[in-house]
Copies of this chain bind each other. A is one copy, B any other.
């Protein structure tokens, strides 16, 4: 993979990515060390479990999944990452990645290289705080997922759809219509459900006129009712 210099100040993600809330000088400083990698295709590894930590990544376009493997060869999809979101934190503590990141579709991303991070900590306390903020945010999401994992199948799937919708909205995409770049298998894996259960529930949601499903395209028809399904959460 080749690296190219990027400019954060004219990036289309400027106010949803790292620099959010930083001064122009600070952004210029970041620009100096941020690199962009070229395009990946569905199934390509962004990094593998055990890979040396090379930095925090920001998704510019496309999406990715974080995957942990147990020693029976089962994949566990821990997280889905959308444009403007950061990944790589799983490599922060041990210099090695604790799980793999895999492209779900054609995607591009930027890198905040590990070797310049210490220097950034010293020069840009604002960035440091922002990174902590982001990592705290990720932890809260994990907590939510953990609470969710104890809830019945219907709630899990409803929450999954709502959460995707809200995250897409936050990034300026349509929150009511989107394409899932995941198979039923992958959704089920992520939520701890059998793929058949996912299929049945999507059908049920459609029958109840909460959503419209066309293969991997989802149209949310009644967000209110969908949210009612997870009354007990949040």
Q: Is A225 on the interface with B (CB-CB < 8 A)?
A: no
State the main secondary structure of chain A at its contact with B: helix
Binary B-proximity of A37-81 (CB < 8 A = 1, otherwise 0): 000000000000000000000000000000010111010101000
Per assembly, the copies of the chain total: 2
Known: A143-B99, A146-B146, A192-B150. A72 touches B231 (CB 8 A): yes
- Taking the complex as formed, is A171 at the interface, i.e. its CB lies under 8 A from any CB of chain B? no
What's the Cα separation between A196 and B55 when bound, in Å? 46
B140 A142 Cβ-Cβ under 8 A? no
Which of B74, B139, B231 makes the CB contact (< 8 A) with A139? Answer: B139
Contact with B along A131-146 (1 / 0, CB 8 A): 1111111111011011
A interface vs B, CB < 8 Å? Answer: 68, 70-72, 74, 76, 78, 89-94, 98-99, 118, 121-122, 125, 128-129, 131-140, 142-143, 145-147, 149-150, 192, 231-234
